[in-house]
Structure 1
Amino acid sequence: MTVLAWARSPALSPAAVNLDRIAERIRLLRSLALPVTLMERIPVTVFNEFAAEGMRMSAQHLRDLNTERRHAVLAATVLHLSRHLTDCAIDMFKKLIGILTRRADNQAAARVTRSVREVQKPLKDVSKACHAIIEAREKGEDIAKALEQVIRWPVFATSVRAVDTLIAPDVIDGRIEMLQRYPTIRKMAPEFLSTLVFRGHARFLERWSSRLNDAVDHVT
């Protein structure tokens, strides 16, 4: 496979290894250091035509073109591919994070379901104690004696701990499960982030700069 064919045919199914391979292609294309301003020298339709030729023609067919057109087609293809693969990388990264998030949420939900099944008996014990307290209060009886008749304290203490585990704040939080997937994210995120160059939009920067100045003025 030629380098051109390799660059044009990345695997696009969401997978960490595929994201790495797309990043590898982006780095290769950017290593050619073609300025983006080349795109501005010709009409958009002409650029798109050159890029389309480069995306479908084989290396052998490109060799048959005259030198100037071949260089133009290859330059347009490189610029187009660099932009296209960047979009693919961002889209794949979002999908991978989405997949990991859904898995984490599903795992959290499954863990809650298992916990509910496991805690059914402890819940019955707690419910029995609550009903005994309510009934004793309504009848004006001694609540402690009423409890002694329906529960065994060591078993009841164990049941309460089981219920506490079920209602703990992090039990149904998918973010806790997501943290367990940190090694996977750690493998793919640095490669992805180091490949791309992030710049702030001028209007965005101006807006936040204005807000920051207002905040400073307010504090001072």
Structure 2
Amino acid sequence: MISWLSWLRQSPGAPNAKHIMAHIERLRTIENLALPEGLERSVHPLRDLESFHRYATLVAVVLDTRVTLIDEIIDMHDRMLGMLFNRAKRHHSDRFQQSGKTINDKLRLYSRIGRVLVEAKQNGSDPFAAIESILPWEIFAESVIETEKLAQPANFDFLPLISDGFPHLSRYTPSLLESLRMKAAPIAEDILKGVNTD
């Protein structure tokens, strides 16, 4: 069985919700000690007194562990976000690849339709008859609907797919925001107000 101090100082592990929650639990354990603010400034003088030496060392270790835990929690969260962005990019690319043949077929079809419409305009002939010389009108109407489903957003961006990662983030982000005391420079105070909105 590991000691309390060894448990506090365990490495974070891979960046996932379970490990982040475990680290947040370690941080909460330290916060529950309710060490006085500014205690770190007293650790060095305490070391000069033999009877307090062990306590001063323990306090120094706990304070250092607290800082390390916060750094590691933020690092794991940052890496989690990076993985979600990379996964969204990959899914976006995969979806586009899977639709590639159908998109190419539609482009070829509309290229042919465009060509006969240009010729119809030049010849003064019926444009609807020109389209029906390629394929029946009902099939053309269906192909328009199919093409609309294939079309990506106008900015062709992967960002909408990031919301697929919300279940992973929602497992720990409320605890993360609750456990960290955030401060902001004056220029970023509005962002901090948004973070603190219930």
Provide the TM-score with structure 2 as the length reference.
Answer: 0.82
AA of the residue aligned to 2:82? G
Between the aligned partners of 1:101 and 1:30, the Cα distance in structure 2 is 32
Q: Which runs of 5+ in 1 are unaligned?
A: 51-65, 209-220
Q: How is 1:35-46 mapped onto 2 (pairs within 5 angstroms)?
A: 35-41=36-42
CA displacement, residues 150-177 of structure 1 (integer Å, 9 cap, x when unaligned): 2221221222222212224179442332
Contact kept in structure 2, 1:125 and 1:151, CA below 8 Å = no
State the 1:71 CA deviation: 0.5
AA of the residue aligned to 1:95? R
State the 1:11 CA deviation: 2.5
CA distance 1:161–1:28, shift in 2 (3 Å): same
Between the aligned partners of 1:152 and 1:120, the Cα distance in structure 2 is 20
Between the aligned partners of 1:158 and 1:122, the Cα distance in structure 2 is 12
Identity across aligned pairs (percent)?
27
CA displacement, residues 122-171 of structure 1 (integer Å, 9 cap, x when unaligned): 33222211111112223443323322212221221222222212224179
Matched, 1:23 2:7: no
Q: 3-state DSSP class of the match of 1:37?
A: coil
CA displacement, residues 56-111 of structure 1 (integer Å, 9 cap, x when unaligned): xxxxxxxxxx6421101110111111111101111111110111121112112211
Provide the TM-score with structure 1 as the length reference.
Answer: 0.74
Contact kept in structure 2, 1:36 and 1:79, CA below 8 Å = no
State the 1:113 CA deviation: 1.9
State the 1:42 CA deviation: 5.6
Q: How many residues align?
A: 187
Between the aligned partners of 1:18 and 1:170, the Cα distance in structure 2 is 38
Q: How is 1:51-130 mapped onto 2 (pairs within 5 angstroms)?
A: 67-130=51-114
Q: Which runs of 5+ in 2 are unaligned?
A: 191-198
Q: 3-state DSSP class of the match of 1:79?
A: helix
Contact kept in structure 1, 2:117 and 2:127, CA below 8 Å = yes
Between the aligned partners of 2:40 and 2:97, the Cα distance in structure 1 is 56
CA displacement, residues 165-219 of structure 1 (integer Å, 9 cap, x when unaligned): 2224179442332222222221121121121122334x447x87xxxxxxxxxxx
Q: 1:33 matched to which residue of 2?
A: 34
Which segments of structure 1 move beyond 6 Å, counting only runs of 4 or more?
A: none
Between the aligned partners of 2:170 and 2:154, the Cα distance in structure 1 is 23
AA of the residue aligned to 1:188? Y
Contact kept in structure 2, 1:105 and 1:174, CA below 8 Å = yes
